[in-house]
């Protein structure tokens, strides 16, 4: 062997290495794993390594004796510094930096640093700056790190035998590549490395294990940034550049990344190591790498990601598209990994288990393949950094994004079902309701505020205005649009309980449409009694158009002015509250007459937006009945007024009810009560009148009963109001009769419509019905008391 003169530093370094490699402690190192690993860590082309081996005589001897080993190390250093391998150069080269071996351990670095601090500080430290500079782009990262790096960096640098030239030299074989580096880097390292693996996986494994051990001891030659100390130990795999480098190359027919990847690798490695040691303000990736510790190796660098993206494009030009399983299978089979491992990789990367790969999934799979080829063992579960949650291609590790996205997706869902009583929620719910009428409406009778808030009122107003035009039916509607609307409002409010109702009502005539918004509101409110009651103030807002919300009384006065007899004062004075709110307010004095109407009003809870017509019709009918009675009798003012009064009272009741009740219940209760009262009144009237009338009242009763339900569901008050309105507006009895027919027809139509709606609200109505019945009873009692007055 040629004589070899080593500097002290070299001597120390080499001896350490030798000791490390001399696992058998036989003072001669065979070509065992550690040596191979070491040589691989030097990141020299395999040819160079062979050459070195040959030069140092190990080939001749068959093993590495101490001298051979030292020679080899020196040759490595020479090779790393870019000098031609010559035996002569062994001793001639001056100031030869120590051979660099990529190690992925900060600890090692630290040790190195410590080791070299005193020894070679001068020589080494200058390196940091310079060392960084010559680095290839990957190194650039290092550069960045360099400045902020603390002493560890210098140590880091120290680890790398520092001459800038050397640094520049192994550009392709950047020492940086530490085995622990994230796999992405490994490809880089591979490329650079060009290391022929002497063995195959076996060697790799060996090396891996050896490397692991080496690192702990191997402080000095640590050159590259050690990505993760922990990584190394935990990640048994891979020697920085497993032999599969070639396979990597072959794997990808187009191996563009080769140059880039390696470059990236070292840089990333450096970065990570630096970060760890320095904890500098590294990029998030770096920080993540550092923090995620174990995940560091799985971080995809930007270059790698770009490469993956390019690969993705070759299979699937659309970056937002999917790669089918078969195509992916072919692609990854090219990597020559065992099917079992590919299968495992697939399982890890196909996050959504759809048999296809999105861009993120593909990148993760590719990354895992690269890692595996580099010798890294596949993780049991997908590392966080590889989770396909990243949409942003720029950032390879944005964990928050997916979370945010998930959050966003979840929020709308939450919003939908949550129909809070507040207006905003109502407003929100409206569009939602529109979209999913069926579902939301029926499912939740969310206790939404019954009171139509101003906004709703406005909406209702708008709708009503629109619907008014639409509503072709009955003259009644045309007639007291105000009243009807008003009445509608209350009833609609009542009916809001059922969203579906509201929705369903839209198809109804204008009144119903008007009521829709209201009913929607109601439905939202779930028609809960409490909610209803809360609404208390009947739907004044809707009415505004009508020109009298609560001032419906004025209208009433107007409308009923003619017939308006004195009898109206009380209840009728109230005028028809727009949508007569559901029964609620017994206080409203269910003036019995309006029983019918009231009931209708009360029913609204059912949501029936049922057309105002129906409620109107119902009351109308009774009214008509009354009128007919009176007509037959040519009743005097009184009789006629009675009906009027009835109407008025009903209307009034309706109004009152609507006013007082925004809640359906109220209306309902009033409704039934009113109905009864009206029935009684009618009956009374009937009795007073000719025979003809009696049947009518009876009819009416029946009808009212029948209609009560729908009315209850629908807008009772509205109907009442509507009916009353037309009735009142037409003082003449004959007209009322004519209208009777029309009203009946219209009511029939409406009833049918409402029936359909009612069917949906059945359950709610049942409940409301119960409440109404109770109120009805109370109202009846009151009616009894008030009867004498009403008969006036």
Binding site for another protein (CB under 8 A): 324-326, 328-329, 332, 339-340, 342-344, 346-348, 350, 353-355, 380
Q: Rounded to the nearest whole angstrom, what is the least distance from the CB of residue 329 to another protein in the complex? A: 4
How far apart CA 516 and CA 437 sit, in angstroms, is 12
Closer CB to another protein, residue 340 or residue 413?
340
- Report the nearest approach of another protein to the CB of residue 342 (Å): 5
Which stretch of DSSP H or E encloses residue 774? helix 733-790
Q: How many residues does this entry show for the chain?
A: 792
CA distance 590 to 586: 6
- CB-wise, 169 or 335, nearer to another protein? 335
Of 254 and 354, which has the nearer Cβ to another protein?
354
- Pairwise CA distance, residues 380 & 344, whole Å: 9
Closest CB to another protein among residues 232, 332: 332
**Backbone angles phi and psi of 738, in degrees to 5:** -55, -45
Tell me how crowded residue 534 is: count the other CB atoms within 10 A of its CB.
18
DSSP per position, 305-354 = HHHHHHHHHHH-S-TTS-EEHHHHHHHHHTTT--HHHHHHHHHHH-TT-S
Say which residue the tokens 């595996």 belong to.
372
Nearer to another protein, 271 or 350 (CB): 350
3-state SS record for 569-629: CCCHHHCCCCCCCCECCHHHCCCHHHHHHHHHHHHHHHCCCCCCHHHHHHHHHHHHHHHHH
In the complex, the smallest distance separating the C-beta of residue 179 from another protein, rounded to whole angstroms, is 24
Chain Cα centroid distance, residue 642? 62
Contact 704, 679 (CB under 8 A): yes
Q: At what angle do helices 257-278 and 284-292 cross, to 10 degrees?
A: 70
3-state secondary structure of 74: helix
Q: How far is the CB of 296 from another protein (least distance, A)?
A: 22
Rounded Cα–Cα distance for residues 754 and 609 (Å): 7
Nearer to another protein, 350 or 713 (CB): 350
Residue 2 or 354: the one with the smaller Cβ distance to another protein is 354
Question: What's the burial of 702, exposed, middle or buried (CB within 10 Å: 0-12/13-18/19+)?
Answer: exposed
Cβ at position 236, least distance to another protein in Å: 17
Residue 355 C-beta: closest distance to another protein, Å: 4
Rounded to the nearest whole angstrom, what is the least distance from the CB of residue 340 to another protein in the complex? 6
Shortest reach from residue 257's CB to another protein, in Å: 24
First to last CA, the chain: 136
Q: Does residue 125 contact residue 157 with C-beta atoms inside 8 Å?
A: yes
Nearer to another protein, 66 or 344 (CB): 344
Report the nearest approach of another protein to the CB of residue 328 (Å).
Answer: 6
Query: Closest distance between another protein and the C-beta of residue 208, in Å?
Result: 20
> Would you say 355 or 466 has its CB closer to another protein?
355
Q: Which is nearer to another protein, 355 or 400 (CB)?
A: 355
Residue 330 or 784 with smaller CB distance to another protein: 330
Helices (H) and strands (E) in the chain, counts: 38, 4
Least separation in angstroms between CB 181 and another protein? 24
Question: Which residue in this structure is represented by tokens 């190690």?
Answer: 103
Residue 431: CB atoms within 10 A of its CB come to: 10
Return the closest-CA partner of residue 671 out of 560, 554, 773: 773
What percentage of the chain's residues is helix, strand, coil (to nearest 5)? 65, 0, 30
Q: Which is nearer to another protein, 253 or 339 (CB)?
A: 339
Q: How far is the CB of 385 from another protein (least distance, A)?
A: 19
């Amino acid at each position: 062997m040629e004589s070899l003169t080593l500097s002290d530093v070299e001597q120390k370094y080499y001896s350490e290495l030798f000791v490390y490699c001399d696992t058998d402690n036989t003072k001669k190192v065979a070509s065992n794993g550690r040596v191979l690993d070491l040589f691989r860590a030097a990141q020299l082309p395999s040819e160079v390594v062979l050459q070195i081996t040959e030069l140092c005589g190990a080939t001749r001897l068959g093993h590495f004796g101490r001298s051979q080993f030292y020679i080899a190390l020196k040759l490595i250093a020479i090779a790393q510094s870019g000098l031609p391998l010559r035996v002569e150069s062994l001793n001639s080269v001056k100031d030869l930096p120590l051979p660099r071996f990529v190690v992925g351990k900060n600890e090692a670095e630290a040790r190195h640093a410590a080791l070299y601090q005193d020894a070679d500080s001068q020589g080494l430290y200058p390196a940091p700056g310079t060392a960084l500079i010559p680095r290839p782009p990957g190194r650039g990262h290092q550069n960045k790190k360099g400045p902020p790096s603390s002493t560890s960096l210098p140590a880091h640098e120290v680890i790398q035998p520092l001459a800038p030239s050397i640094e520049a030299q192994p550009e392709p074989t950047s020492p940086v590549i530490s085995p622990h580096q994230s796999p992405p880097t490994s490809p880089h390292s591979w490329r650079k490395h060009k290391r022929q693996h002497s063995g195959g996986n076996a060697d790799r494994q060996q090396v891996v294990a050896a490397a692991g051990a080496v690192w702990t001891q191997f402080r000095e030659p640590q050159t590259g940034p050690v990505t993760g100390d922990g990584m190394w130990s935990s990640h048994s795999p891979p020697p920085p550049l497993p032999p599969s480098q070639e396979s990597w190359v072959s794997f990808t027919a187009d191996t563009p990344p080769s140059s880039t990847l390696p470059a990236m690798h070292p840089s990333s490695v450096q970065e990570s190591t630096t970060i760890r040691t320095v904890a500098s303000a590294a990029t998030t990736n770096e920080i993540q790498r550092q923090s995620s510790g174990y995940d560091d190796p799985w971080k995809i660098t930007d270059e790698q990601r770009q490469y993956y993206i390019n690969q993705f494009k070759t299979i699937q030009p659309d970056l937002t598209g999917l790669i089918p399983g078969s195509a992916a299978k072919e692609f990854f089979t090219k990597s020559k990994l065992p099917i079992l491992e590919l299968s495992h990789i697939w399982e890890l990367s196909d996050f959504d288990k759809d048999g296809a790969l999105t861009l993120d999934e593909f990148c993760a799979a590719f990354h895992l393949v690269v890692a595996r080829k580099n010798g890294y063992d596949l993780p049991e579960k997908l590392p966080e950094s590889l989770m396909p949650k990243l949409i942003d291609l720029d950032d390879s590790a944005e964990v928050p994004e997916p979370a945010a996205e998930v959050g966003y997706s979840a929020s709308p869902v939450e919003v939908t079902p949550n129909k809070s009583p507040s207006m905003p929620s109502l407003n929100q719910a409206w569009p939602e309701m529109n979209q999913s009428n069926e579902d939301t409406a029926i499912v939740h009778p969310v206790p939404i505020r019954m009171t139509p808030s101003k906004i709703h009122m406005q909406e209702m107003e708008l709708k009503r205005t629109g619907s008014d035009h639409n509503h072709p039916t009955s003259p009644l509607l045309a007639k007291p649009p105000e009243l009807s609307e008003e009445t509608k409002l209350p009833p609609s409010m009542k009916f809001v309980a059922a969203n579906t109702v509201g929705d369903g009502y839209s198809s109804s005539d204008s009144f119903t449409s008007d009521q829709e918004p209201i009913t929607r509101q109601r439905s939202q409110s779930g028609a809960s009694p409490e909610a209803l009651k809360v609404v208390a103030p009947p739907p004044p807002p809707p009415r505004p158009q009508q020109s009298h919300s609560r001032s419906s009384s004025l209208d009433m006065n107007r409308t009923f002015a003619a017939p308006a007899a004195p009898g109206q004062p009380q209840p009728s004075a109230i005028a028809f509250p727009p949508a007569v709110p559901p029964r609620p307010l017994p206080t409203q004095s269910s003036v019995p007459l309006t029983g019918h109407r009231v009931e209708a009003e009360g029913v609204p809870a059912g949501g029936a937006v049922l057309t105002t017509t129906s409620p109107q019709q119902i009351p109308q009918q009774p009214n008509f009945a009354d009128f007919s009675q009176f007509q037959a009798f040519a009743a005097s003012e009184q009789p006629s007024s009675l009906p009027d009064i009835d109407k008025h009272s009903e209307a009034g009741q309706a109004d009152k009810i609507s006013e007082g009740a925004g809640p359906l219940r109220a209306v309902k209760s009033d409704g039934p009560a009113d109905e009864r009262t009206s029935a009684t009144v009618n009956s009374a009237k009937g009795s007073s009148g000719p025979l003809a009338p009696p049947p009518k009242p009876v009819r009416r009763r029946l009808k009212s009963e029948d209609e009560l339900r729908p009315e209850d569901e629908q807008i009772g008050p509205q109907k009442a109001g509507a009916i009353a309105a037309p009735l009142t507006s037409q003082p003449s009895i004959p007209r009322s009769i004519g209208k009777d027919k029309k009203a009946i027809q219209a009511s029939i139509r409406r009833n049918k419509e409402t029936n359909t709606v009612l069917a949906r609200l059945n359950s709610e109505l049942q409940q409301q019905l119960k409440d109404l019945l109770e109120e009805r009873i109370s109202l009846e009692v009151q009616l009894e008391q008030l009867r004498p007055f009403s008969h006036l």
